[in-house]
A and B are shown apart, each in its own frame.
Chain A
Amino acid sequence: MICKKIKLAFQSLFPEPVPVPVPAEAESVGEDQDKKAKSPTPPRTDGVVEREYSIHGYHLDAQLAPAQLITAVTLLDEAEFFIESITGVDWIKDNQLEVVYDFSRYDFDLCRVVLRTRVDRKSPEVPTITTIYPGANWHERETHDFFGIKFAGHPHLIPLLLPEDADFHPLLKDFKA
């Protein structure tokens, strides 16, 4: 099973296996949410976790430091994954921006891998993966458009979806039109 192989390969990237605190998922929908969610969940440490596919829709979830990205993506490229998408999430409360990478496979040995890295909100910079996956070019440009994340080494980081002279980043939580 490719999932086990990839998980082992990723685990070798991290110094020692730390039990990752998975945020407690509320079982009911609706009513009691407000009362339960007030206690803050501890921040997640770097590591790779297996997720329940039937609920979450993906198999492996790895949180990395930006410096480990290239190694991890090279591993996935050698294992014949294809790049599905790259996006960002603005965690304004933690003062961080998260870049989320989705990878999947073409064959029937299904394994969806999600890579995440977190960077500081004031000066977000992440290395580019366009040297490994040329398809990441537009995805990174779009993430830069929406969140202002700089991808170091990107050949052509200009606005993609916004006008050429745009200097705003609309999907940040404190964006005012």
Chain B
Amino acid sequence: MNSPILLQPDETFILNVGPQHPATHGVLRVKMEMHGEYIVNAETVIGYIHRMHEKMGELKTYPQFLMNLSRMDYLGALGYSHGHVLLVEKASGIVVPERAEYIRAIMVELNRIASHLFWFGAFVMDLGGFSPLMYALQDREHILDMLEAVTGSRLTYCYFRFGGLCNDVDDDFITAARLFIPRMRKSMKKYHNLVTGNIIFRKRLEGIAPLSKEMCRKYGASSAVARGSGINFDVRKNEPYSVYPEFDFDVPVYHECDSLARYMVRMDEIEQSLRIVEQGLDKLPGGPIMPDKKPKLIKPPVGDYYQAVETARGSFGIRLVSDGGKNPYRLKLRSPTYSNMHLFDEACRGMMIMDALAFMGSLDLVIPEIDR
């Protein structure tokens, strides 16, 4: 539970981590009350990159808001856009052609792999190892090349439209993706050899920051934070949407609850995403990428709608309250990192500060997503 930090004479001192700090992955500030190396109490201060996405949701029309979703979580941007377009299509009754849904799923999974690669590089860098960052970002560049050829952007995509996509994939993309899959599998072996078996890495993560199932439930944690604690929860399986029921993939769940379990969950997720991309490319149907009948002006009927999708960081939810006009009446973005980060204050009591920073890395934080 959050409580204000009060200065204790003689015994403890307050250490201010951030907002500019190499390990906080963005502008995050943590006020830690320290007793030597041990954290007695921590208070997270956020809001340093509050960019008013929900306010813009009310002032912009539905198509104008498409670009905002990528700026929220820029590493896994396509997953967020997917949630938004699915919500508006559901509310408005727009039917998406099958080819568009398959391409969306393939793109989202490639983006998920890119996001996990970046997380992997940054996480190991936090622990002190600089080389995996170089290798991981090099692999990520291959994915970005493929995505850039189709969507036009490297990082902040605005590729999905209501009803489908703005650009179709061509044979170059399919060939490149097929060549990428075995290459990525080889790279994963390399990463496991380089990092996962490393004794220093294991000692720094084994047993660190155990999170119980009950704690995850009370805070609403999702993605690797929940799956590393034994909770089998993945929105793609629990609450299927789009074409995910057509794919055969597993959800990695580890029961050790520590930082190493969260790390292993994400590494295994990369392999599962590769499987989905493979199956998607095999099953890709022909046809159009936009529906024939689409309303000129998007005005969902009056009501309350919700859509949840599984992004690289967890269960992302959008709630739309529509009054029938061309702007949403209220657009709420439920960001997974917000709920994951909230655990930190309670979980890091009694930890050493270096373990707390390793724990922060294993949560996979992207701060603009917390602050929206």
Residues of A within 8 A of B (CB): 23, 25-27, 29-30, 33, 37, 41, 54-58, 61, 80, 82-85, 87, 89-90, 100, 102, 104, 106-108, 110, 112, 114, 130, 133-135, 137-138, 146, 155-156, 159-163, 170-171
Contact = CB atoms under 8 A, between A and B. Distances in A.
List 10 A-B pairs, minimum CB-CB distance, nearest first. A135-B219, A57-B306, A161-B47, A85-B334, A29-B295, A87-B332, A106-B233, A161-B50, A82-B217, A30-B295
Interface in B225-257: 226, 231-233, 237-239
Given A25-B303, A56-B304, A171-B55, A83 B220 contact: yes
Contact of A134 (B52, B87, B219, B239): B219
Nearest to A110: B239
B142 interface: no
B220 A100 contact: no
Contact of A156 (B3, B55, B91, B300): B3
B220 A30 contact: no
Nearest to A51: B304
B319 A135 contact: no
B305 A159 contact: no
B203 interface: no
A81 to B, nearest CB: 8
Contacts of A161: 46-47, 50, 371-372
A117 to B, nearest CB: 15
Contacts of B315: 84
Given A23-B303, A55-B91, A85-B334, A30 B54 contact: no
Contacts of B295: 29-30
Given A55-B91, A89-B330, A26 B342 contact: no
A159 B299 CA distance: 34
A125 B35 CA distance: 38
A29 B298 CA distance: 7
A172 to B, nearest CB: 10
Given A37-B302, A83-B219, 14 more contacts: A29-B94, A29-B301, A33-B299, A55-B91, A56-B303, A56-B304, A58-B306, A106-B217, A106-B232, A135-B218, A156-B4, A159-B47, A163-B47, A171-B55
A160 B218 contact: no
Contact of B218 (A104, A110, A134, A162): A134
Interface size class of B (residues with CB under 8 A): 35 or more
Contacts of B300: 29
Contact of B238 (A80, A108, A155, A160): A108
A159 B342 CA distance: 15
